[in-house]
Chains A and B, each alone.
Chain A
Amino acid sequence: MPGLYLPSTERDACGVGFVAHVKGEKSRGIVEDALAVLGRLAHRGACGADPDTGDGAGITLQLAHRFFKAEALRLGFDLPRRRRYGIGQVFLPADAGARAACERVLEEAVVEEGHRVLGWRDVPHRPEAVGVTARNVMPVFRQLYVGLRRVPPSAYERTLYVIRKLAENRVREGALDPSGTFHVVSLSTETIVYKGLLLPHQLAAFYPDLSAPTMVSAIAVVHSRFSTNTFPTWDLAQPFRYVAHNGEINTLRGNVGWIDARRSQLRSAKFRGGLERLAPIIVPDKSDSAQFDNLLELLTLGGRSLPHAIMMMIPEAWEGNLAMDEERKSFYRYAASLVEPWDGPAAIVFTDGSLVGATLDRNGLRPARWWQTSDDRVILASESGVLDLPADKIVAKGRLQPGRMFVVDTSEGRIVADDEIKRDVAGRFPYGKWLDKNVFEMDELDAAPPAPAIGGDELHRQLRGFGYSDEDVGLLIAPMADTGKEPTGSMGTDTPLAVLSREAPTLPQYFHQLFAQVTNPPIDPIREALVMTLETNIGPDGNTFDETPESCHQIRLPGPFLDNTQLAQIAAIGEGAFETRRLSTLFAVADGPSGLRTALDRLCAAASAAIEDGCNVLILSDRGVDAKRAPLPALLALGAVQQHLVATGTRMEAGLLVETGDAREVHDLAVLIGYGAAAVNPYLALDAVAELVERGDVRGPTADAIARYLHACDDGLLKIMSKMGISTVQSYRGAQIFEALGLADEVIARGFAGTPSRLGGLDLAALAVEALDRHDRGFGRQAIAITDELPVGGRYQWRRRGERHAWNPASIAALQDAVERDDRVRFGEYQRLCDEPDDALVLRDLLQVVPGTAIGLDEVEPVSAIVKRFVTGAMSFGSISAEAHETLAIAMNRLGARSNSGEGGEEPHRFEPEADGTWRRSAVKQIASGRFGVTTHYLVNADDLQIKIAQGAKPGEGGQLPGPKVDERIAKVRCSTPGVSLISPPPHHDIYSIEDLAQLIYDLTAVHPRARVSVKLVSEVGVGTIAAGVAKARAGAIVIAGYEGGTGASPLSSLRHAGIPWELGLAEAHQVLVLHQLRGRVRLQVDGGLRTARDVIVATLLGAEEYGLATASLIATGCVMLRKCHLNTCSVGIATQDPVLRARYRGKPEQVVAFFTMIAEEVRVLMAALGARSLDELVGRTELLAPRADRTGKAASIDLTRLLHKPAGVARFVAAEPWSVADHLDHAIMAAAGDALDGGKAALVTLPIDNTRRAVGTLLSGEIARRHGARGLPDGTLRVKLTGSAGQSFGAFLAPGVELSLEGDANDYVGKGLSGGRIAVFPPRDARFAAEDNALLGNTVLYGATSGELFAAGQAGERFAVRNSGARAVVEGVGDHGCEYMTGGVVVVLGATGRNFAAGMSGGTAYVFDKDQRFAAKVNRELVELESLVDESDLWLVLGLVEDHVRLTGSAVGRRILDNWELMVARFVKVMPVEYRRVLQARRAAARPRATILPMAVS
């Protein structure tokens, strides 16, 4: 690919489901039901630019013997009896020659393996049933009939697998299929898959086979795909051979890499001719789901049952689970030494033809609901209501819980429970005993003396020699050692990329962390710690197929970072099973830069020799640096060894440890783990801690300080993993979740193969020069510098003699002076300071604009047209003061531009213009993960509804507004309590996947159809692919933020190391959208460090149409980059809520107006020089950019070709294609409601509903908010009675005065953003199951609700009332993470809860009816305490709510409680946030009238 698009970044997510007959009775009914289910999942799939081409749909069925036998006979050959033949469903190239070649290869493989080809069948299909795009690349569909001979029945599937692998490999190796069409969809004696690049409803129409009366099955698995890509590929449609997958494998690169590394160790007697000839096991360049299927298939065919193999690949969260039995834990622990978890959100449906089941990942990040009917059918799907089932036929229903498995065994004719399956698997061998014998804990190792600490002058030499700066020690290490936490900073980063820095940055600085956005959620490593683990193993890894005691020969570490004592213990092991060897990673200074390469060669040879000698723990060590010997960059040494050992097939025979002075900050450590180290000992940083203690800068004793430092490193690693949605260090290890910027292919090839590095950059020699430069500071000429001070650093704070910053005293002073006086000359100076640095600072400095044919300035569109494209950054009221927030809004409204509310809500008084025209409203309203203040009224007062997926300063992380910053006013607008901390979760809990995002966009469109919905993403490799998905999810605009920007508080390491510059992200997004013919649907906006008119022009040429300037506009109002936003001590009154400091605020709207006006004026001048009359003419015109020829030094090594690549196609916005809400159910409701919406007569409307009816109540709530404001309608004005299964987002943003009463059940996101309405859900009156024991509502109910009520006579799923800030709810059971991040409101649970209840709950109260006293163990006590109900007010509150619950839902359990109230009340447990109680008590005390003594009257 010449541009920035990488097909490997493609993601998909989907709807899945199965229908099965428990007793295995085959019927047409099962097939038809499954097709119906698929049709009802259509909204979870997507289509691209061609509306008739879907992303893929398919079905897996049991082989219908009668059908295929008849077909064979018709074609003139006979079939043996059942199971003695296999049928291959094959996609073949359209080209006749290629097709024949592929067929021949397949046939040969069949014969080679001793079987015979019975014949081929052309699969009937109707090309007219699919879209043009799909038709253009349509394969030829043929079925291969294979007669099986001479193998025992148990080997049937294995032999067919071998045939398929051989054929696939030969086609690939022989380049027989240039179009890449050849694909064996399935080849099995048991199942057959029909799939294609189809929309769900097209499947049956396309394949007439599926409608044949004899096409019967007892099992049918279906899948509807939503892919971010639109490159039409038939083979990536699902199901695959064993699974249909809704989700994403975050650790894919590592998983594939480790399987590759294991290649030589994979041995199985079960495969004739060995496994080597089948390699690669994991077919490269396929989707994560396809690759998952590859390994699962192999594990299964290697002799494990499907559930067993799934348990190995997607283990549930067992590490910290106190309730799990030891046997099962032992199994998981043992399995971990055989295969790394495939980590990521997943709902997987699997079948081998007799067993069908499903499982969820440990986080439960994908929904799965199931029903069992009285006629022995089981239906499982991503949504409830996918099949119309009479209520009286349902005997049970439920939802799959995180990490749980649900299996229907049709051969045994029963449903097998999770516990039973897992008990069986865990009981196969005495795993526990094996572990006891072969796994060593750290405390079982002999003590060994640690290396003595380096101190005094030698320490300083070493620190200098390893490139430490004063900031490294003072700003990073010291706070970590002192507090055990990573330090925080603000205001983004504005220093050069490592490849543009003159300061010889260490190698990890060239690596940028990747993070999850949209297609998978990041995790909250603090509040959801129960799913995360740092536990790791060192030692050789065994054969994945063998289950022997020796396979788990390992040393277990509680975490991957070792202090000197632990390292010494491991290094000292030298007898028996473990043999350790230290390999020096130093090179001779005298050898000069070329010495680095030879040293790497030597190191790799030494590693091989060590393994040859039987060593199974290798320690790569750079101890011993002196004047003559310099350290290799530890990361390079590790990468080279790792890759060398993988290439030689010996990697799994030894664990790699790194003992290095290089690693000092969390990022350094994370990169080492990410490239394969099992553990790291950052000895020099630890010695620096020791010295800090000695100097009195850090509290002692030293051992404690070191422990605190390492603890901070642990937490930091968890955070970095969680950003990507990865839960376990084991799967993070070697997963290479980084992007390199500024490293040449040579370097990548040497140590980091597979890591994207799209700009080229430094080669090994150049890295060596930097390594020697650092060494020189400590041991060479530079060491004569007169003092023993470390270099100043200056990366986090501007310093003279430090790293360069774009925002420096000169540029800030010039800008402020220019806007204060509206002075164009001074503004010119400001722009020159930014645009013409003495050496390139940012990527765009490497570009020049190629002058065109100039036109007159008067021909260029006016300033007023240009400023419309400007926005200020999203900065919440709360993070900045009301004064600053309103200054920006007033100015932008005056200009006709847009300000952004940020994620903190907005005070309603700002919504309407004032008499003098002053308008304080933010045109862009943000919807962020915290949903603070996101009410219906807020939403309808926007022009642009912006979904913030990530922010540049800390993509993939949540945030926290500390209690002291939450004053009365902020609490009010955020619907919370003053003084109580507010936590924003890392993900949007209603966006775990691309189809979820589509749903939220739909919800927002429903509430405010006239607003544009935009989605904010942060630059990283693959952002283009995500942007394509977002465009397909029908966003109207996509914001690409660079990593530089950011005004919020953020951990220091996140500020710099996560994300990449906007230039790359923007260009990638633009290129991919053009390539996929999606560019015309969306506007592209860019932000993150734009400062000048030239920046605007460069951004336009790279593909942007709108421009965000956040930091610059803040500086225009007086910000001086104190970078103290997180401390509430902003001395210029901007990022503070302190009234004393706010009084110091001097900003005026005029300054902001002047700033944007002058930018626009300068933009016009540049446009005239380019000959452009409007900015639109310049969008995406990369031919007007050229790399500067006068680049020198490191900058000269950068290759900008891919950045400037220009794909053909529509290259700018043409017309939006928003969701249509024309057929929304609310129209029917409103039509029937008479004048109720106008506040007239109360109305009652009755309607049926099904799961395709989404966001019911939302559209009319938007209408109510527009007409009546936040107050809505009087209670009881509009009552709507619905029957059936409601689609997602039932009652989202429901306004006051509306009551939805649903008889049936509902899916995810019920009552999302509830804004005053009332929802009641209860099972059908004729239901046969007990309501309280069954799943009624989906996941993430009442997310971000601000007021209103919900009553549900049944159970809800995960994350009930997450981020609720005001709604009251009664429910009869909830899943994991109930009341997470709640800040207000009341939740009454009349049944069981899942784990991690009340995590991050800082406000509100929950009352749980704890029938069997199991609740206490399930509560996350970080912020809350449990109390019993004694307070009168509590009793009345709960009683009242339960009474309402019974009245509105007819709840049986509610009635039982009321009937025995006196007895039952004692079983209620009150969950009370500690901080909340303190604040409430303080407020009550303050409100209490004080007794005063009146002065005596003096007469």
Chain B
Amino acid sequence: MGKPTGFVEWPRVAAPRREREARVADWREVEGHHDAATLAQQAGRCMDCGVPFCMQGCPLGNPIPDFNDRVWRDQWQTAWRRLDATNNFPELTGRLCPAPCEAACVLALDGAPVTIEHLEKELAERAWREGWVEPQPASARLRTGKRVAIVGSGPAGLACAQQLARAGHLAIVYEAADRAGGLLRYGIPDFKLEKTVIDRRLAQLVAEGVELRCGVRVGTEPTWDRLRAEHDAVVIAIGAGRPRELEVPGRDLDGVMLAMEFLEDGNRAVATGGAARHDVRGQRVIILGGGDTGSDCLGTSLRQGAASVAQLELMPQPPTVRGAGNPWPTWPLVLRTSSSQEEGGERGFALRTTGLVGADRRLTALVAERLDPALQPTGEQVELPCDRLILALGFVGPVTGDLVGQLGITLDGRGNVAIDRTSATSAPGVFACGDAHKGASLIVWAIALGRETARHVDGFLRGGPSWLPARGVDQPF
């Protein structure tokens, strides 16, 4: 149970990051490693709470105190087994999750939660290194012969496919892109997630019997209804790909682009070793949107050699400590600094873009008005010169035209795929998971919902209760 007094003896030591100069010079992962002793101490800080809020904070319900304890006791393999039992891709969440678990950690009351996410990543990496991550194919006895199509190979689709395969079904993943991984593949820069991490995991899935069919545009060929007809069940895991647009004059100027276009281009270039079409070397870059995607654009811009980068947000600058209505263990609405933001660039808050200025159809400046804390215009106008504007304004939902047209899928009020308590859509035998139904969210939710949907699909296929492990009851704080 960790060391009872560990949290008093050892301060929190966050995941180390490589030196700024070194890391902007290449595309390799920013995060470094602690030595084993430090990791053990950090795990030993866990208090093994009677009510581990972290576990409620984690949508996957990872057994956080249990694996912390094992790491503390130098039983890494057992720790790994615990983690592996609830999280299909801890090497991904260990890198990409914003760690609501840490926000809910009881030690976060004093601002120094256990470094759960980093421990998760280290645990996963060690497992891969040691060869503990092995294919876990369903035994022949358990094979059902049922075929399930999972459309979309993001974390939700892959988690769902893996669970279904382990339960004995034939899981076939359809992906429109040339390689599997969804957003992970081309949406996340290598400095946060090196792509070998995805590949080794995909290999495990394949070894477990998951079939990956890339370059298949479901909706076009095959159509959704045909896909449904050819499988015992279909899972929609297409993500929430519709970007939020900037509706101001000048949007059509050259130099204005969506974050995903920019990132995909950059990431493909890294993957192939070629040049990026939208390279921003020497340019003045403005990124609209202060979220993770915006930060990814920022990091990419810095690495491509932008002359300057500014990241602008509509919202005012958040406080540095929790406000009264935002108590522990809820997600803290405070100012955060991403690794990319550490690396450079400027940040602007409370700015609403009112227009874009161009010359020769090329973008030259952004015009914005300053807002007060109530988000009302103050009357102050600013004009920021720039050559490139990247829109990282978030996503508004899945692309659903074909789904509605071909399967008659019902959508919810926000345009997401509507599902019932068993993850079933309005079309018989068709299920949905991940962002496609939840709207754009965290990778940890994607995995969690993928697992949950797999359980329901398993139950559906068997006509009885599924005994795939459940996520546990969600009771938000």
Contact = CB atoms under 8 A, between A and B. Distances in A.
A87 interface: no
Contact of B475 (A801, A809, A1140): A809
A799 B82 contact: no
Contact of A807 (B51, B75, B163): B51
B136 A786 contact: yes
Interface stretch (A17-25, A813-821, A1225-1233, A1384-1392): A813-821
A820 B85 contact: no
Nearest to B56: A809
A833 interface: yes
A813 B472 contact: no
Interface stretch (B193-201, B306-314, B324-332, B398-406): B324-332
B325 A821 contact: yes
Given A786-B166, A1124-B4, A799 B52 contact: yes
B107 interface: yes
A810 interface: yes
The bracket for how many chain B residues form the interface is: 35 or more
A792 B4 contact: no
Contacts of B109: 1120, 1131-1132, 1144, 1146
B445 interface: no
Interface stretch (B228-236, B388-396, B463-471): B463-471
A787 B50 contact: no
B107 to A, nearest CB: 7
B61 interface: yes
B3 to A, nearest CB: 9
B438 to A, nearest CB: 19
B470 A810 contact: no
Contacts of A783: 467
Contacts of B7: 1131
B49 A1123 contact: yes
Contact of A799 (B55, B106, B324, B477): B55
B72 interface: no
Interface in A776-828: 781-789, 792, 796-802, 804-805, 807-810, 812-814, 816-817, 820-821
Contacts of A697: 75
A695 interface: yes
A633 to B, nearest CB: 22
A558 to B, nearest CB: 33
A1344 to B, nearest CB: 32
A255 B308 CA distance: 91
Nearest to A695: B78
Interface in A418-432: none
B130 interface: no
A784 B50 contact: no
Given A805-B51, A809-B53, A810-B477, A785 B107 contact: no
Contacts of B107: 1131
B477 A808 contact: no
B330 A813 contact: yes
B465 to A, nearest CB: 8
Given A800-B56, A800-B472, A809 B51 contact: yes
A803 to B, nearest CB: 11
A789 B85 contact: yes
B338 to A, nearest CB: 27
A816 B5 contact: no
Contact of A785 (B51, B61, B467): B467
Contact of B329 (A490, A788, A792, A813): A813
B142 interface: yes
B247 interface: no
Interface string A1128-1141: 01011000001011
A792 B470 CA distance: 12
B401 to A, nearest CB: 36
B170 to A, nearest CB: 16
Given A789-B82, A813-B327, A833-B475, A797 B51 contact: yes
Nearest to B138: A784
B244 interface: no
Max chain B Cβ within 10 angstroms of own Cβ: one of A490, A781, A813, A1122: A813
A41 interface: no
Interface in B286-333: 324-325, 327-330
Max chain B Cβ within 10 angstroms of own Cβ: one of A697, A784, A833: A784
A821 B328 CA distance: 13
B383 interface: no
A792 B63 contact: yes
Interface in B379-420: none
Nearest to A813: B477
Given A695-B78, A821-B324, A1120-B49, A808 B85 contact: no
B167 interface: yes
A726 interface: no
Contacts of A1144: 109-110
B473 interface: yes
A1140 B327 contact: no
A500 interface: no
B124 interface: no
Given A696-B75, A805-B51, A1124-B47, A786 B469 contact: yes
B476 interface: yes
A797 B52 contact: yes
B167 A784 contact: yes
A875 B92 CA distance: 46
A1242 interface: no
A810 B5 contact: no
Interface string B452-471: 00000000000000011111
Interface in B61-113: 61, 63, 65-66, 75, 78, 81-82, 84-85, 104, 106-107, 109-110
Contacts of A821: 324-325
Given A800-B471, A801-B472, A1122 B47 contact: yes
Contacts of A785: 467-469
A1129 B47 contact: yes
A1121 B51 CA distance: 6
B49 A797 contact: yes
Interface string A673-702: 000000000000000000000011100000
Interface in A264-315: none
B8 interface: yes
Given A784-B467, A789-B81, A816-B327, A798 B51 contact: yes
A491 interface: yes
B49 A1127 contact: no
A1132 B110 CA distance: 9
Contacts of A786: 85, 136, 163, 166-167, 468-469
A783 B469 CA distance: 11
Given A1123-B50, A1124-B50, A1131-B106, A801 B56 contact: no
Contacts of A1138: 8
Max chain A Cβ within 10 angstroms of own Cβ: one of B82, B107, B330, B477: B477
B472 to A, nearest CB: 3
A1120 B53 contact: yes
Given A784-B142, A813-B330, A808 B51 contact: yes
A812 B473 contact: no
Contacts of B167: 784, 786
Contacts of B471: 800-801
A789 B136 CA distance: 14
Contacts of B57: 809
Nearest to A807: B51
A268 B58 CA distance: 73
Contacts of B473: 800, 804, 838
Interface string A486-514: 00001100000000000000000000000
In the complex, the 4 A-B pairs of residues with the closest C-beta atoms, listed nearest first: A1123-B50, A800-B472, A800-B61, A810-B475
Interface of B: 4-5, 7-8, 47-53, 55-57, 61, 63, 65-66, 75, 78, 81-82, 84-85, 104, 106-107, 109-110, 136, 138, 142, 163, 166-168, 324-325, 327-330, 467-473, 475-477
8 contacts: A784-B167, A785-B468, A788-B81, A797-B50, A799-B63, A810-B475, A810-B476, A813-B477
